[in-house]
Amino acid sequence: MVQQGTVHGLTTVGSGSYRPDDVHFLLRSVEIDVTDVLEKERLIQTRQKHYSEMISLEHAPDPVHQDLFERALAQNGTRMAGDVLALAQALDRQCNGPEIVLVSFVRAGLPLGVLLRRALRDLGREAHHYGISIVRDRGIDRTALEAIIQAHGAQAIVFVDGWTGKGAISGEISRSLAGDARFPEQPRLVVLADPCGRAWLAASAEDWVIPSGILGATVSGLVSRSIWPADGGLHGCVVYDHLQPFDMTQAFIEQVDGLRRQLTDACAVEPWTVAQRLALQAAAGQAIDGLAARFEVNNPNRIKPGIAEATRAVMRRVPDHVLVRDIRDSDVQLLLHLTEQAGVPVEQAGAALGPYRAATIIRSLG
């Protein structure tokens, strides 16, 4: 059973199924009726409800899904460990204050934030870690962020997410903090993979299968994605106690953290230069524009580029088409398994995907 806690005077879901010293969630537990996936998609596209006002039931991964997660962890766990070390070393160089405050976005940022905090502590840095909500088109949870600022100030805050797709969350951070002199003009967003060049610091620009991106709540502390608060205050989440028998949260963290501890050094990474950033943004934008034109998509939210986003869209949305760069690519095998289950057509698109190795087009229901 996930226990509630209190952080900076706010009643929260505590640390979920993470260790109490790994993260503090600034989210409150809410009860909300589940919405069928097809109905949820219809309500989103007809603008009757925002996606953050609804949630569908999250099921345990089936045996094939779980096996593909295990294979991805075996295949890419060491890479993730090396990237965590590289990012921690870069943060150690870039952040001069007495402490570093990691603010991870629920849910994709959580595993990276936990691993970064541990790596920073091993480098001798004082590091704190919080999980908060950010909602596309509505912004960051200001109640949560202000509580963190009250405790630590804004100067030491670094935002953490798992990866970028089109850069929607990066844009949402910038909009949320625009005009706030406590933060730099370009917010410090750290990710593992940044194929669209929208993060401040990334381990690489490559689109690859990040193991924690394959599962949902069972690798993210047994919490749902965040839910917009109708009455204001802290954003909410659903605690998925029914998934406790399948929870991989701690096992995943311990395995990747153990691999990181075996490494003595990692490839140095630095924030993107302006030239690097513009080149990545141009390549990603060209690929997305090409998909939009081909599939006659007017709403960019219906295009989900990148392996992690494409996979999650098949699990949580109503997909119409899935494209992969190479159908033999080991990194897209879970995506192919899910499309086969859902009866979604898959196309090998090659270089048309630009920097991405996969993309999902959401079906139009408007």
pLDDT at 24 over 50: yes
CA 157 and chain centroid, separation: 18
Work out the number of other CB atoms within 10 angstroms of the CB of residue 254. 11
341: left (phi over 0), alpha (psi -120 to 50) or beta: alpha
Rounded CA-CA distance 366/364 in Å is 6
Q: Is 273 inside a domain boundary? A: no
Residues 310 and 349 in one domain: yes
Instruction: Name which of 139, 195, 168, 134 is nearest 300 in CA terms.
Output: 168
Residues 150 and 254 in one domain: yes
- When pLDDT is cut at 50, 70 and 90, the band that residue 282 belongs to is very high
Average pLDDT over the chain, rounded to an integer: 93
Residues 238 and 294 in one domain: no
Q: Is 269 inside a domain boundary? A: no
Work out the number of other CB atoms within 10 angstroms of the CB of residue 316. 18
Residues 286 and 231 in one domain: no
pLDDT at 72 over 80: yes
pLDDT of residue 48: 92
Of the listed ranges 101-105, 134-138, 157-161, the least confidently predicted one is 134-138
Q: Which is higher by pLDDT, 197 or 8?
A: 197
pLDDT at 2 over 50: no
pLDDT of residue 64: 87
- The secondary element (H helix, E strand) that includes residue 68 is helix 63-94
- When pLDDT is cut at 50, 70 and 90, the band that residue 1 belongs to is very low
Structure tokens of 186? 């370009």
152: left (phi over 0), alpha (psi -120 to 50) or beta: alpha
Domain holding 128: CATH number?
3.40.50
Q: Mean of the pLDDT values across residues 231-252?
A: 94
Residues 138 and 257 in one domain: yes
pLDDT of residue 322: 96
Percent of the chain having pLDDT more than 90?
Answer: 80
Beta-strand (E) ranges in the chain?
A: 5-7, 10-12, 24-25, 28-29, 99-105, 126-132, 134-135, 139-140, 157-160, 189-193, 201-204, 236-237, 303-305, 319-324, 346-348, 358-362
Q: Is 246 inside a domain boundary? A: yes
* Per-residue pLDDT reduced to its tens digit, 328-338: 998 999 899 98
Residues 215 and 288 in one domain: no
Q: Mean of the pLDDT values across residues 170-179?
A: 94
pLDDT at 65 over 90: no
pLDDT of residue 251: 97
Q: Is 343 inside a domain boundary? A: yes
Residues 241 and 336 in one domain: no
Domain holding 307: CATH number?
3.30.1330.30
Q: Mean of the pLDDT values across residues 193-210?
A: 96
pLDDT at 8 over 70: no
pLDDT at 4 over 80: no
Structure tokens of 150? 């009250």
Q: Mean of the pLDDT values across residues 239-249?
A: 95
Number of domains comprising the chain: 2
pLDDT of residue 365: 84
pLDDT of residue 5: 62
Residues 303 and 346 in one domain: yes
Rounded CA-CA distance 342/310 in Å is 14
Residues 174 and 295 in one domain: no
Rounded CA-CA distance 257/21 in Å is 15
Residues 25 and 56 in one domain: yes
pLDDT of residue 312: 86
* Per-residue pLDDT reduced to its tens digit, 47-56: 999 989 999 9
In sequence order, the 6+-apart residues with CB closer than 8 A to the CB of 143 are 10, 26, 232, 233, 234, 235
Residues 64 and 205 in one domain: yes
Q: Is 266 inside a domain boundary? A: no
Q: Is 257 inside a domain boundary? A: yes
pLDDT of residue 185: 87
Q: Which is higher by pLDDT, 76 or 3?
A: 76
Residue 297: half-sphere exposure toward Cβ, Cα within 13 Å: 21
**Taking a C-beta distance cutoff of 8 angstroms, is the pair 104, 217 a contact?**
no
Work out the number of other CB atoms within 10 angstroms of the CB of residue 245. 7
pLDDT of residue 110: 97
Structural domain boundaries enclosing 323 = 282-362
Residues 220 and 289 in one domain: no
Spatial strand order of the sheet with 99-105 comes to 24-25, 126-132, 99-105, 157-160, 189-193, 201-204
Q: Is 235 inside a domain boundary? A: yes
Q: Is 267 inside a domain boundary? A: no
**Taking a C-beta distance cutoff of 8 angstroms, is the pair 326, 352 a contact?**
no
